[in-house]
Structure 1
Amino acid sequence: MTSRSGIALSESQRIAWLRLIRSDNVGPVTFRELINHYGSAEEALERLPELAVRGGARKRFRVASVTEAESELETAARHKGRFVAIGEPDYPPALRAIDGAPPLLAMSGSGDVATRPALGLVGARNASVAGAKFTAMIAGAAAGAGYTVVSGLARGIDAAAHRASLAHGTLAALAGGLDRPYPPENIELYRAICEDGGVAISEMPYGWEPRARDFPRRNRLIAGCSLAVVVIEAANRSGSLITARLANECGRLVLAVPGSPLDPRAQGTNGLIKQGAMIVCSPEDVLEALAPLSQMELPIRGGADEEDTEDLPPAAPDDDDRARVAEALGPSPCEIDDLIRFTGVNPAAVQLILLELDLAGRLARHPGGRVSLI
């Protein structure tokens, strides 16, 4: 896999990108569509309020200011961090390949570690001694073979994975801001990761306290950064199973360590194996599974490139087009191609109408590029 390739943003572009992703209702997919449609973040920022009004927004649309963006950049610098854009050399290449990849990552630590082929290791917070020991064996073997070990800084399995790979460089994905590591008992481990050759990433702003709903986003970062994800001890309805599902949606290999049917911590992993996950009985099983994956060139699907934007035909939807699209949408997710065929509206116009609805807070985006009306 090619690593550390890309072109750095100028400082003014970085500020514009940060303003755009921090503005109301602009998520990764919407960000990419705006850049592709208008050619630059600066131009998209000018159009945001107008688009939101046309989409039916009922309150004033908030566009993040230059001052806010500059303040966040200054906060990052104070914490020895930075913001890395999706097209820049330090951005994790595997993460760049997923649909809806974060356009900007807050990053602290080694960019080299972030761009190496990576293995995700996740599991129970209330890990057993055996589970933590086996995690350390896998993490140590993978790190020694040149892979970056990725996990979520949680108690138990995550912490064991980070500690075992610390000497070679490990990646911690956070649910909150990089100045708000969680849980508190792993703060020293977090500092060691950032200061001793590892790296931490987050798509959340500095100062953001992690909430329960932020952890699935953190789990998606783990899955997206990794070529494969190993689950070690996970109960039913565990957050680790969410990571496994997201890894599968990202096209990543999912591996699981079997356990005793009498141990609740093994119910989730045993279930993954029944569903087709690759069984892991030794660190060598993981290395053998990784070997062919590390030679693959991943397709780039989530980018937003200001130098090579999509050449869309002119789109000028009228009110009838907007009404047809809004009426065709409902609470059930549908494919955008199906929406275009059903309404007969120009594809570029449909994309713009969806942007308007999204910025107005009326559109929900789902995996696989599907959409529904809120």
Structure 2
Amino acid sequence: MTRAEAAEGVKLTDGQRLDWLRLIRSENVGPRTFRALVNHYGGARAAIEMLPALARRGGAQAPGRICSTDEARREIETASRQGAVFVAVGEPDYPPRLRMIDDAPPLISVRGRVGVLKSPMVAIVGSRNASAAGAKFASQIARELGDAAFVVVSGLARGIDAAAHRASLGRGTVAVLAGGQDCIYPPEHATLVEQLLEQGAAISEMPFGWEPRARDFPRRNRLIAGLSLGVVVIEAARRSGSLITARLALEQGREVFAVPGSPLDPRCEGTNGLLKQGAALVTETSDVLNVLAPILGRTIALPASEPAPDPHDSAAEPADDERRRILALLGPTPVEIDDLIRLSGARPAVVRTVLLELEIAGRLERQIGGRIALI
């Protein structure tokens, strides 16, 4: 790959993008082969010209199919009509963590908000045949990760994936497709894709018109792991695609998290097995945030789950008995603010005022998850 093409932050010309698409769409050229060819011959166009000779030297009776200029141009035109763009590895909009894996796709097609791909991401994957409890927990984790400024990435599958995407619609979520951008699988999630494009994105390395096959899903799974700081697995059977994603995440140096489940539920055999192998246990979102904070080099806190202020109650001054009642409910054990309001019987604004007084006095500690405790 030429220095101009490989330099981070340098956009390809239209001609280079066309050549890159031709090369990666040619037969027997995968991401690693693409990189080797471009590095060896100095550019995609030179590599394309050498493909017939290389195939002949390798003993092929005839060269493999080489994507023509017209084919590549038609795919770019199709992408444009469908609101998609091709982003090349090394360009400013290419996901930074995906660029780090050994077999990063040279080009990805992106629909939706391209800028969301620069955000820190966490993957949530799991059983297609999810339990109600598993889907609910996936939704909770996804919402709270979004509140903590993470983008949730998943594979658009039924069950856990879909629950995670739906819970993240308002915060931004990324769907990684196993087929082309115009071949959504499962088909009933086409509406979900359109919804997530408003704040998030759908990405694919496959050609337009490509119907996903069984072997395409592990390829998709490596992208899910590659995009992410870590992968949270919720309900995975002993042999499942989610465990493939977890294995790929480990190979890529990502964090692997697992949610424990009943030993009697076959949907949890895989996740319980991951825990035995050393995956980080997750029973609440803070378990994920505490592991990722050192990686990002900053503190990550969930917003406090306080009720919205009442404009008619903004100047509440606590009475002495209200202040004593609230203080009596506080201690070193963390408590939810909503529980404090309910148990004290005080108005939300009164509770917030007392908490503010304690915080200014250095007597209150706010913890991840919005809980509070006396110091």
Q: Separation in 2 of the partners of 1:275 and 1:112? A: 36
| Partner residue, 1:331 | none
Q: With a CA cutoff of 8 Å and minimum separation of 6, indicate the structure with the bigger relative contact order.
A: 1
Runs of 4+ in structure 1 over 3 Å off: none
Q: Which of the residues 129, 134, 149 maps onto 1:131? A: 134
- Output one character per residue of 1:206-246: Cα deviation in whole Å (capped at 9) or x when no partner: 00001111000111110000010000000110110010011
User: Could you say what secondary structure the match of 1:64 adopts?
Assistant: coil
| Partner residue, 2:43 | 40
Q: Which of the residues 232, 235, 238 maps onto 2:237? A: 235
| Partner residue, 2:171 | 168
Q: CA deviation at 1:277?
A: 0.5
- Percent identical across equivalent pairs? 63
Task: Give the alignment of 1:226-265 within 5 angstroms.
Answer: 226-265=228-267
User: Could you say what secondary structure the match of 1:83 adopts?
Assistant: strand
Q: Which of the residues 181, 184, 193 maps onto 2:187? A: 184
- Output one character per residue of 1:63-93: Cα deviation in whole Å (capped at 9) or x when no partner: 1111000000001011100111001111111
Tell me, yes or no, if structure 1 residue 72 matches structure 2 residue 98.
no
Q: Separation in 2 of the partners of 1:125 and 1:73? A: 33
Tell me, yes or no, if structure 1 residue 21 matches structure 2 residue 24.
yes
What TM-score results when the alignment is normalised by the length of structure 2? 0.76
Q: Separation in 2 of the partners of 1:214 and 1:188? A: 22
Where does the alignment leave 5 or more consecutive residues of structure 2 unmatched?
Answer: 1-7, 299-375
Q: Separation in 2 of the partners of 1:36 and 1:73? A: 24
Task: Give the alignment of 1:90-105 within 5 angstroms.
Answer: 90-105=93-108
Q: Which of the residues 276, 282, 285 maps onto 2:284? A: 282
Q: Separation in 2 of the partners of 1:264 and 1:129? A: 15
Residues 52-61 or 7-16, more deviating = 52-61
Q: Separation in 1 of the partners of 2:56 and 2:265? A: 54
| Partner residue, 1:346 | none
- Output one character per residue of 1:186-213: Cα deviation in whole Å (capped at 9) or x when no partner: 111011112x121011110000001111
Task: Give the alignment of 1:39-58 within 5 angstroms.
Answer: 39-58=42-61
Q: CA deviation at 1:14?
A: 0.2
* Count of aligned pairs between the two proteins: 291
Larger radius of gyration: 2
Q: Structure 1 295/66 Cα, relative in aligned 2: closer, same or farther at 3 Å?
A: farther
Q: Which of the residues 215, 222, 225 maps onto 2:224? A: 222
- Output one character per residue of 1:300-336: Cα deviation in whole Å (capped at 9) or x when no partner: xxxxxxxxxxxxxxxxxxxxxxxxxxxxxxxxxxxxx
Contact 2:55 2:62 in 1 (8 A): no
Q: Separation in 1 of the partners of 2:125 and 2:294? A: 22
Q: CA deviation at 1:59?
A: 2.4
Q: CA deviation at 1:294?
A: 2.6
Contact 2:51 2:63 in 1 (8 A): no
Amino acid aligned to 1:47: M
